[in-house]
Amino acid sequence: MLATNSCSVLALFPGYTKKKTVILLILLALIYFVLNWDGIKYSKISETPMHETHRIHRRNSALTSSIFNPTYQDYQRLIDLNDFYFNIINPEACNVPVFLLVLVSSAANHLHHRHIIRTTWGQQRTGIKIIFVLGKVQDNILQREIVKESNVYGDIIQGNFLDTYRNLTYKTMSAFKFMLYHCKKASYMLKIDDDDFVNVPLLLNFLKNDLSVSGTDNVFICNHLTGYQVSRNVSSKWYVSEMDLSDDFYPSYCAGWYVLLSPDVLFRLYETTQKLKYISVDDALIYGYAREKCNLVHTDFTRFTREYSELELDFNETYDSLPLLFGGPNMSSEQIKKFWLHFRSRPVLKSLRHEEKSRTKVLSKIPKVISL
Ligand SMILES: *[C@@H]1O[C@H](CO)[C@@H](O)[C@H](O)[C@H]1NC(C)=O
Ligand SMILES: *[C@@H]1O[C@H](CO)[C@@H](O)[C@H](O)[C@H]1NC(C)=O
Ligand SMILES: *[C@@H]1O[C@H](CO)[C@@H](O)[C@H](O)[C@H]1NC(C)=O
Ligand SMILES: *[C@@H]1O[C@H](CO)[C@@H](O)[C@H](O)[C@H]1NC(C)=O
């Protein structure tokens, strides 16, 4: 197409030499690439059928006060709780520039999980701030330990809702609240559970090289879930009564164990969820119902993650060139350490954009159990 056009253009100028034709062709090709650069760059990142049309916009999006006008009432409100406050808060955590804020949803008594994260992938690093998000406990001894831990590490926040599984949505929303009110200059936010692994060096390269060092709008990255039925089994962890939710199926949503967001998306999800009826299935409520209400589209990154049985993979040369950003959920301390030690000693990909070619080569060598 391009070649034919340029030839017919050339036919109008018989004085042109071969050399000039080549130069003109190169120029036209350059113009084509410049005009389509965004499409070329991102077409590979967002290729899952559901999300084919989604493009991550490259725009600086430090949260401005014009987007978010906090009010006293909003700070105290957490969906249907009207007397919310942080029992423990380390507001100075974000006094330094934060490129990536990692909010780790952690069960209050998981002191060991937090220790593992601090000593493996969560080790201190310029530009990254890790904060553990907890709920309130009734055990005074445990509470004293948590306060001590917070004094030593300065990386804990604790909301005044009871730390229970059914209160998980409060926990996630209080994490969002912390970013909006106390860390609003962070460029990106990763919400993750305390039993997962993050390949931090590769994640940083992805954010800086594939997205932008100065922050990017419209980032909503997760593992896509669809067709999930609302559980009516009262003994299930995910039980929701028909009174609280009459739907039989959830809308498409994200698995809650990790979600990567830009501040603008975080704000819209937060603002919308504040007005919804509480259910304890936090991922379905926030990344399903609230997402739908504010017309947000998420990008599926399942192929850059490993879940459950896939975590058993033996690290050897077969897997070395697989780009892995997140491992989980439900990883043991040993698995987290093993993953961390492995990736720590490997070269880090500069970008996820260029991984697809090498990946297809590697994939042919991998046994079928690992479905990507
Ligand atoms: C959730 O937290 C609230 C506020 O602390 C508490 O009243 C409620 O009992 C908790 N719900 C569950 C199911 O633990
Ligand atoms: C309900 O959930 C419990 C706990 O997960 C499970 O043991 C039980 O088999 C479930 N019952 C039904 C009918 O699915
Ligand atoms: C790598 O590990 C996989 C899974 O355990 C195994 O099947 C494969 O033979 C190993 N490859 C090498 C080169 O050791
Ligand atoms: C999580 O891991 C533990 C042991 O490591 C296992 O007993 C449990 O079944 C796992 N849970 C899920 C949901 O896979």
Q: What is the per-residue pLDDT across 258-275, written as a single tens digit (0 to 9) for each?
A: 999 999 999 999 999 999
Domain match, 9 and 156 both: no
171 and 228 belong to one structural domain: yes
Query: Looking at the structure, do residues 255 and 120 belong to the same domain, yes or no?
Result: yes
pLDDT > 70 in the chain, percent: 75
Task: Return the pLDDT at 21.
Answer: 73
**Which-ligand-closest: CA of 193?**
4
Helix axes 168-182, 263-273, angle to 10 degrees: 130
Share of the chain above pLDDT 90, in %: 59
pTM comes to 0.80
Please write the tens of the pLDDT for every residue from 129-140: 999 999 999 999
pLDDT at 128 > cutoff 90: yes
Q: Is residue 104 part of a domain?
A: yes
Which has more pLDDT, 211 or 27? 211
Q: What is the rounded average pLDDT for all residues in the chain?
A: 82
| Domain finish residue from 272, 287, 302 | 302
CA of 77 to the centre of ligand 1 (A): 15
Which ligand has its closest atom nearest to the C-alpha of 328?
4
Distance 297 CA to ligand 4 centre (A): 31
Domain count, the chain: 2
| Burial class of residue 40, CB neighbours in 10 A (0-12, 13-18, 19+) | exposed
Does residue 232 form part of some domain? yes
Buried b (16+ CB within 10 A) or exposed e, 254-283: bbbbbbbbbbbbbbbbbbbbbeeebbbbbb
Same domain (yes/no): 33, 116:
no
Angle at CA 117, nearest 5°, toward 315 and 265? 100
The answer to whether the Cα torsion of 264, 268, 271, 274 is positive or negative is negative
Q: Same domain for 167 and 88?
A: yes
Atom of ligand 3 nearest to the CA of 319: 1
The per-residue pLDDT for 141 is 98
Specify the higher pLDDT residue, 265 or 66.
Answer: 265
For residue 372, pLDDT beyond 60: no
User: Is residue 267 assigned to a domain?
Assistant: yes
Say yes or no: 97 and 214 in one domain.
Answer: yes
- Nearest residue by C-alpha to atom 9 in ligand 4: 330
Ligand 4 shell residues, CB under 6 Å = 308, 330, 332
Question: What distance in Å separates the CA atoms of residue 57 and residue 92, rounded to the nearest whole number?
Answer: 31
128 plus 6 within the same structural domain: no
Pocket test for ligand 2, best of 230, 232, 235, 238 (most atoms within 8 A of CB): 235
Lowest mean pLDDT across 23-32, 109-118, 122-131, 169-178: 23-32
| Same-domain check for residues 18 and 89 | no
- The yes-or-no verdict on residue 95 having pLDDT over 80 is yes
* Ligand number with the minimum distance to the CA of 255: 4
Among all bound ligands, the one having the nearest atom to the CA of 239 is 2
15 and 128 share one domain = no
Where residue 184 falls among pLDDT bands split at 50, 70, 90?
A: confident
Residues forming a β-bridge with 188: 100
Label residue 11 by pLDDT band (50, 70, 90): very low
Q: Give the Å distance between the CA of 170 and the centre of ligand 1.
A: 9
User: Are 140 and 189 members of one domain?
Assistant: yes
Distance (angstroms) between ligand 2 centre and the Cα of 328 equals 23
Between 155 and 324, residue with greater pLDDT: 155
Mean pLDDT of 133-153: 98
The Cα–Cα gap between 94 and 342 comes to 30
The whole-number pLDDT of residue 364 equals 40
> Which residues line ligand 1 at a C-beta cut-off of 6 Å?
161-162, 164, 166-167
Which atom in ligand 1 lies closest to the alpha carbon of residue 136? 5
Q: For residue 21, what are the domain limits? A: 2-42
345 band by pLDDT with thresholds 50, 70 and 90: confident
pLDDT tens digits, residue range 198-223? 999 999 999 999 898 988 888 999 99
Distance 81 CA to ligand 1 centre (A): 10
105 and 199 belong to one structural domain: yes
Residues 165 and 247 in one domain: yes
Tokens of 3: 């070649």
Task: Look up the CATH number of the domain holding residue 252.
Answer: 3.90.550
Q: At residue 47, does pLDDT exceed 70?
A: no
53 inside domain: no
